Amino acid sequence: MTGPKTLPKGEFFMRDRNIHPPAYTKDYKTSVARSPQYAMLSLENTRSEITGPVFGHNDVDAIDNDLIKNYAKESDPIGERIIVHGRVLDENGRPVPNTLVEIWQANAGGRYRHKKDMYLAPIDPNFGGCGRTVTDEDGYYFFRTIKPGAYPWRNWVNSWRPAHIHVSVFGSGFAQRLITQLYFEGDPLIPHCPIVKTIPDQDAINRLVAALDLNATVPLDTIAYKFDIVLRGRRSTLFENRLEGN
Amino acid sequence: MVQSLNYLKETSSQTAGPYVHIGLAPGAAGFDIYREELGWDIAGPNAAGERIRVEGLVIDGMGAPVKDVMLEAWQANAAGIYAHPEDPRNAEVEDGFRGWGRIITDFETGVWGFDTIKPGATPGRNGSVQAPHINLWIVARGINIGLNTRLYFEDEADANANDPVINLVEQVDRRDTLVAKRTEVDGKVVYRFDITLQGEGETVFLDI
């Protein structure tokens, strides 16, 4: 197995914690008892962090990225048919090829197919709500799905999540592992959401909002949204002290 | 003004939320959708080394088990080799050994566990040797960005004493939070590793 030729093999850029949510964010109530109080131990990369699981196209099936078809029983699911597509890049702007991207979401009514979700909006018998794919050589990925609905949750008395799709991505090393949420352009719930507002930087929030992409829509069929994902960059090898043993 | 550096910014993290299983372990969420779910078998049948089980709880700041947590494990094989192209010995990794796993709790009790092989020592920085360890990544509702930690093994006391990461933990009495306790259950080796998110006995988390 050989690594992607376009990526340097150096250490990852230090994670900029100013654009990530801190652990303790009191308005998102569950974080109060689930946030460490002590400072994290900062660790320079070793082989344990630079490496990570390798996935291939054998791990997924072609239909896995099509949420309109991958759980359809009698007919297609109900809701707004959308394409979500984009690239996985690193902070240097280089594509991250052959990496696993997984998504999950509620159905058009905001109901999750999960035995713990008791919201009164009904399950869609033809919609599972998860998908996965592996990026191509250019870091490109796409999904076809139903636009999820907003849903209520027990935070404040009247809290509603914006429409969102959960996104999980690996990159090439375990230090790049990331889970985030995709929001949709123009959704008025975004600025009200305490989970969105765990992120202290408005530009960083904006980068989680997928743009309507008319150029990628399929006329008379499916609307498209574009969502690029950026993972930590890697240092070039110009003046780098090579890790011992590498 | 100066020139722009033109780096992109990393996409910000968001909590995995309460329904992470739908996406990453749909079987646990209660439905079957994929030909094969990923991450159930860390070591595979061909891996050399001691077969072990790891079990534990993730505990919140009130002392209660976190029942909706998901963990991921990343480890080397028994010879200390990672199944990744940037480990120069990766061609020696046993067929079927991926070194990565996904771990779901019992929704009623919060107990989680996984079967694997005990990893070997791996190279550290500047010629050092890292004691055998499993890298863990923890996500859940209420956790805004995945938490990284490491699991070390109680019966590797000498290697642990020289481990460059354990020795970075300034408060010596916190180092034990990274060390799993070895027990035997019905003749099987089980390491117990509870992770405390907050407060008394808080586990050391790593900014990697």
Q: Is A85 a catalytic residue?
A: no
Written as six digits, the tokens of B83 are 């199944």
The CATH number given to whatever domain includes residue A160 is 2.60.130.10
- Domain range for A152: 52-230
Judged by a CB distance cut-off of 8 A, whether residue A157 touches chain B is no
**Which residue of A15, A38, A114 is in closest CB contact with B19?**
A114
Give the residue-averaged pLDDT of B27-40.
92
In a domain, A37, yes or no: no
Residues of chain A found within 8 Å of residue B64, distances taken between Cβ atoms: 33
**Which residue of A29, A93, A113 is in closest CB contact with B31?**
A113
Give the residue-averaged pLDDT of B111-132.
96
Q: Among A28, A71, A141, A151, which one carries the catalytic annotation?
A: A151
pLDDT at B43 over 50: yes
Closest CA to A227 of A86, A16, A95: A86
**Which residue of B21, B66, B100 is in closest CB contact with A34?**
B66
The letter for the amino acid at A87 is: R
Calpha distance A79→B7 (Å, rounded): 38
The pLDDT value given to residue A8: 59
pLDDT at B73 over 70: yes
Confidence category of residue B30, pLDDT binned at 50, 70, 90: confident
Specify the fold of B37-196.
Protocatechuate 3,4-Dioxygenase, subunit A (2.60.130)
pLDDT at B166 over 50: yes
The pLDDT value given to residue A7: 54
Give the residue-averaged pLDDT of B154-182.
98
Q: Where are the domains of chain B?
A: 37-196
Written as six digits, the tokens of B74 are 């990343």
Nearest CA in chain A to B61: A33
Judged by a CB distance cut-off of 8 A, whether residue B173 touches chain A is no
In a domain, A46, yes or no: no
In a domain, A105, yes or no: yes
Counted domains in chain A:
1
The pLDDT value given to residue A57: 85
- A116 contacts: CB under 8 Å, gap ≥ 6: B18, B19, B68, B107
Condensed to tens digits (0 to 9), the pLDDT of residues B83-101 reads 999 999 999 999 999 999 9
Residue A188 CA from chain centroid, whole number: 21
The pLDDT value given to residue A241: 52
In a domain, A113, yes or no: yes
Calculate the CA dihedral of residues B165, B80, B140, A144 and round it to 10 degrees.
130
Which stretches of chain A drop beneath a pLDDT of 70? 1-8, 237-246
Mean pLDDT estimate for chain B: 96
The pLDDT value given to residue A9: 73
In a domain, A35, yes or no: no
Residues of chain B found within 8 Å of residue A105, distances taken between Cβ atoms: 23
Calpha distance B143→A44 (Å, rounded): 23
- A205 contacts: CB under 8 Å, gap ≥ 6: A190, A196, A197, A199, B12
Calpha distance A183→B135 (Å, rounded): 31
Tally of CB atoms within 10 A around B82: 29
Q: Do A129 and B22 touch (CB under 8 A)?
A: yes
The answer, yes or no, to whether ipTM is higher than 0.90 is yes
Written as six digits, the tokens of A172 are 């090439």
Residues in chain A: 246
